[in-house]
A = this chain, B = another copy of it.
Amino acid sequence: MTGSLAILAGRGAMPSALAEAYPQATCVTFEGVETPVPRVDAHHRFEAFGALLADLKARGVARLVLAGGVGRPPLDPGRFDPFMQALAPRLLSALQGGDDALVRLVISVFEEAGFAVVGAHELLPELTATPGLLAGSAPDEAAQADIARARAILAALSPLDVGQAAVVDTGIALGIETQQGTDAMLRFVAGASDTLRGTGGVLVKRPKLGQDLRVDMPAIGPETVRGAARAGLKGIAIAAGQVVLIERQALISAAEEAGLFLLAEAG
């Protein structure tokens, strides 16, 4: 695949990791979206999606990567450009279709406009993990059971397009990720009463079953580990090859320092 790359930058650590790895890439974002990317070449509005497509073409962009969540940006139909007006019926449908339906629509629109949409895992394959223990000691039996239960919860929610992360502590679910993201869920778990806590519990983070990894690729970073430690967890289990490790060395050091295991599971 050749052609200039553009990063559609949203929240979280992924856009910066991509911008760093691809210094030639064009970085664009949307007004109202807070992105930590230090260099943004253009701010666009969702209401003027036609202008975004034209701008990307003018910049010679052929490949696009969507990086980081953009929440639900304000959409004022009165400001829709003709492109968005034509898209309105599909947009309405997507807005009711699940947490990622809007992103899937955006990918389709880019593809129909002739762009290739690639996944962050394709651009940064070295950022995911191979199966095995990356930090700490192997999970004990209780932690293994909690991992299995958290995975079952995520699997049950996958068809509904909800949840990439869950926390289970000694058999009891204490957190199921919603659109607020993993860090917010970990803060919620940290606030749970002691009477609800067992022997520690685990965070499991994985893509949804069957998820298109170009949509909201899951990622963890040092802040995830610190959040898990503050939530009193024993460790973190991720899907090998499907979860990006942001600042891998700092992440692993943070896990070792906090005494958390970090396990990448195949399958």
User: Taking beta carbons and an 8 Å cutoff, which residues of A are in contact with B?
Assistant: 32-33, 71-73, 95-99, 101, 142, 145, 149, 152-153, 156-157, 159-160, 162-163, 170-176, 178-180, 184, 188, 191-193, 195-198
Given A96-B145, A101-B171, A156-B157, A176:B162 Cβ within 8 A: yes
* A193, B98: Cβ atoms closer than 8 Å: no
Q: Nearest residue in B to A197 (C-beta to C-beta)?
A: B72
* B160, A156: Cβ atoms closer than 8 Å: yes
Residue pairs across A and B with Cβ atoms less than 8 A apart, 30 shown, are A32-B195, A33-B195, A71-B193, A71-B195, A71-B196, A72-B170, A72-B196, A72-B198, A73-B195, A95-B198, A96-B142, A96-B145, A96-B170, A96-B171, A98-B171, A99-B172, A99-B173, A101-B171, A153-B157, A153-B160, A156-B157, A160-B173, A163-B173, A173-B178, A174-B180, A175-B178, A176-B178, A180-B191, A180-B193, A184-B188
